[in-house]
Amino acid sequence: MAALGDVAGQHVLDYGCGAGGTTAQLLARGAQVTGFDISLTRLHEARQRVAIAPDGSPAGLLQCAAEMLPFADGVFDAVLGKQILHHLDLPIAIPEIARVLRPGGRAVLLEPLIHNPLLEGYRRLTPHLRSPTERALSMHDLQRIAAHFSRWEHREFVLLAVLPALLGAITHRRPAWPRLQARCTKLDRWLVTAIPFLGRYYWETVIVLQR
């Protein structure tokens, strides 16, 4: 949300809206929101949560595939997506994002990264937690995504901070060691600023793209 900036009065596409949690946040911030998802079950949940926007207008929620968006060119001021791209066919999905954004519009996307061997090992050991088609993104993928936009930047999150979460899963403590989690998060932010190359080994990245 911080990377997205002020969305009051803007038309925002909630890219893979799921159960509508992000849609509700965007509406609360004064955006005009259109959301889509491939799952009818998740859309039903979203419609129950955000059927009506704060100004009394209906929230636009529809079923479609991200690779074939049913919107006119340049209709959105911004696109916000969380953990969606790594499920998709990027060469088809990314041009669609660029197409529906107005000139100067921005897309903010949160995605997992593939380069950390420990995290990849964890993913292979827990296939039941993810769909068979998903694949975390590489830095090369980010470059290919950026080629469709005039400007871009990215920032990585969660390296050491994943350890308390893993320990919590092992010991069945939730939340696990919140002070340790906070200290690891602070150290992660310092490390990626001081040594940017380490970013490729972090768990997630926030990609900001400008049309």
The count of other CB atoms within 10 Å of the CB of residue 97 is 24
Residue 149 reports pLDDT greater than 80: yes
* pLDDT tens digits along 58-100: 568 999 999 999 999 999 999 999 999 999 999 999 999 999 9
Q: Is residue 168 helix, strand or coil?
A: helix
Position 48 confidence tier, pLDDT thresholds 50, 70, 90: confident
CB 5 within 8 A of CB 206: no
Residue 124: the pLDDT is: 73
Task: Quote the pLDDT of residue 27.
Answer: 92
Q: What is the pTM of this model?
A: 0.87
3 state SS for 145-156: HHCCCCEEEEEE
For residue 40, pLDDT beyond 60:
yes
3-class SS letters over 50-103: HCECCCCCECEEEECCCCCCCCCCCCEEEEEEECCHHHCCHHHHHHHHHHHEEE
pLDDT of 53 = 60
List the one residue out of 110, 113, 105, 103 whose CA is nearest residue 79. Answer: 105
Flag whether pLDDT at 148 surpasses 70: yes
pLDDT value for 32 = 92
pLDDT above 90 as % of the chain: 70
Helix (H) or strand (E) holding 167: helix 162-171
For residue 47, the model assigns a pLDDT of 87
pLDDT digits (tens, 9 = 90+) for 130-147: 677 788 999 999 999 999
Nearest to 20 by CA among 78, 82, 107: 82
**Percentage above 70 pLDDT, the chain:** 86
Mean pLDDT for the chain overall: 88
Hey, what domains does the chain have and what are their CATH numbers?
65-159+206-210 (3.40.50.150)
How many angstroms separate the CA atoms of 21 and 86, rounded? 20
Contact 94, 65 (CB under 8 A): no
Instruction: Compare 191 and 124 and report the one with higher pLDDT.
Output: 191
For residue 169, what pLDDT is reported? 62
Q: What is the pLDDT of residues 169-198, one digit of tens each?
A: 666 666 556 788 888 899 999 999 999 999
